[in-house]
């Protein structure tokens, strides 16, 4: 397989295959979807990205909370955004380790919001942090909350993180029920952007 490292502005990469023929590879830059459990899809929000290699870029989410990212700058990005609750920074793993590994499970739990650390490392810092994140994920997905990695956890993570890439789009921007933390607000999802 030929090696290449596209820069953040390319959407096409040209290289010569072993046969000597010129090949063209097209790819879509990775996207992030900003979907908050309380605020919903975060539309028209400015985001500042700092990539693993130090590259910095800015972006703005569209009307579905989607923003395109640069490619080829490492396994993760730290995204900084401002919501009605203040400045928020999240580490997001763009390229995750294999799901059958501890690091792969850990990185997916980070992406899904189960690791309450500002800049979590690529590997669990200790078994207790991984176990706590696993227990919360398991409880949310009707699995036995034992904090252990097993076939059921891996299957659920595959479904929720790796395969269900369009479930967010069907959600829209429904109002929250009046008995939530925003009982006095009309529609916090609309006001948040």
Q: How far apart are CA 30 and CA 67, in angstroms?
A: 9
The structural domains of the chain, with segments of one domain joined by +, span 29-95, 97-164
Q: What is the pLDDT of residues 116-142, one digit of tens each?
A: 898 999 999 999 999 999 999 999 999
Q: How far apart are CA 83 and CA 72, in angstroms?
A: 28
Listed range (1-10, 99-108, 110-119, 122-131) with the worst mean pLDDT: 1-10
Work out the average pLDDT over 69-77: 89
Handedness of CA 61, 92, 75, 53 (dihedral sign): positive
Task: Note the helical H segments in the chain.
Answer: 102-111, 127-140, 151-157, 167-171, 188-191
Residue 97 DSSP class: P
Between 172 and 128, the higher pLDDT residue: 128
Looking at residue 24, its pLDDT comes to 57
Work out the average pLDDT over 58-85: 88
Looking at residue 170, its pLDDT comes to 43
Between 57 and 8, the higher pLDDT residue: 57
What's the chain's average pLDDT?
77
What angle separates helix 102-111 from helix 127-140, to the nearest 10 degrees?
60
């Amino acid at each position: 397989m030929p090696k290449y490292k596209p820069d953040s502005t390319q959407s096409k990469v040209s290289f010569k295959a072993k046969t000597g023929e010129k090949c063209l590879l097209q790819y879509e830059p990775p996207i992030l979807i900003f979907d908050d459990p309380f605020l919903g899809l975060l539309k028209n929000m400015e985001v500042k990205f700092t990539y693993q290699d130090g590259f910095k870029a800015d972006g703005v989410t569209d009307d579905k909370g989607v923003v395109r990212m640069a490619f080829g700058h490492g396994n993760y990005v730290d995204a900084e955004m401002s919501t009605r609750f203040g400045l928020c920074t999240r580490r997001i793993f763009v390229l995750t380790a294999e799901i059958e590994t501890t690091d792969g499970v850990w990185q997916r739990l980070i992406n899904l919001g189960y690791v309450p650390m500002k800049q979590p490392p690529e590997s669990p810092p200790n078994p207790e942090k991984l176990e706590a994140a696993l227990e919360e994920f398991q409880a949310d997905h009707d699995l036995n909350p034992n904090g252990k990695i097993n076939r059921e956890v891996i299957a659920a993570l595959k479904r929720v993180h790796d395969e269900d890439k369009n479930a967010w789009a069907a959600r829209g921007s429904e109002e929250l029920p009046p008995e939530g933390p925003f009982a006095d607000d009309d529609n916090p999802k609309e006001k948040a952007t």
